[in-house]
Amino acid sequence: MTELRFIQVDAFADRPFGGNPAAVMPLDEWLPDDILQAIAEENNLSETAFTVRADGRVADYELRWFTPTTEVALCGHATLASGHVLIEGDEVRFATRKSGVLIVRRGEQGALELDLPQIRVAPARYPELLAALGTSGAEFFLSYEGAEATAIVLLPDEGAVRDCAPDMAALRDISLMAIVTAPAGGNGYDVVSRVFVPAWGVDEDPVTGSAHAALAPFWAERLGRERFTAFQASKRGGLVQCRIEGARSILGGRCVTMIEGSFRL
């Protein structure tokens, strides 16, 4: 029997049971892909992050992410969680297969900062997606240039975001990350969003770093400033401190370790 280290972390959370839970599993070497996928299915969290130590020249670790049903090209909250577990100095660098080198740094007052490539969206039409989201009269933006296809649906206000009730069965046939967002209603944050990815095994994601890689430049342009606070209004909810640095989206947040133990294989 093989025992693998297992750490469950609530990312973008300043208290237990908030933010987005991720499993972090540091490995000595890569296991077969079907075993990694089976482990993620067993964990049944939105993401399981697997790491293997790298040579340290370009990155400290190699990093891959799996939902219960598929491997994904980019996951922000599980990268932040991996940084929380593995950071030793001021930063830790992760080499990924499709998203380049991602860096987690120590921020202010115990927070961490996640450095992601920006995802830029452009106006588009996708009536089937809008119908699945149950929205009408919304502004729609789309990108296929990032690690995964990303859609932003701009709604008129925070109430419309919170009231959004998608047809999850219809969304399972649409392979992209669907983000609904709007200006906040004065609750101590600037913008609000929700994120739906049923096609990748997660109906509504609690707090999504990769979504904010797109929301950071999207809202920075509309707000006219490079820093703002975003709230993802899922049932668990979480705050993301967003800022723009060149072509990168810098996302700040805290993490809470919830479970530590061994996965027996």
Report the catalytic residues: 47
Query: How distant is the alpha carbon of residue 57 from its chain centre?
Result: 26
Buried b (16+ CB within 10 A) or exposed e, 123-150: eeebeebbebbebeebebbbbeebbbbb
Consecutive H or E run containing 127: helix 127-133
What is each CA distance from 199 to 121, 131, 151, in whole angstroms?
20, 16, 13
Q: What is the dihedral of CA 119, 124, 129, 131, to 10 degrees?
A: 140
Backbone region of residue 44 per phi and psi (left: phi > 0; alpha: psi in -120 to 50; beta: other values): left
What is each CA distance from 9 to 77, 82, 208, 217, in whole angstroms?
10, 9, 14, 27
Token pair for 111: 């927070």
Residue 45 CA to residue 40 CA, distance in Å, equals 7
Residue 220 CA to residue 120 CA, distance in Å, equals 12
Q: How many CB atoms lie within 10 A of CB 252?
A: 20
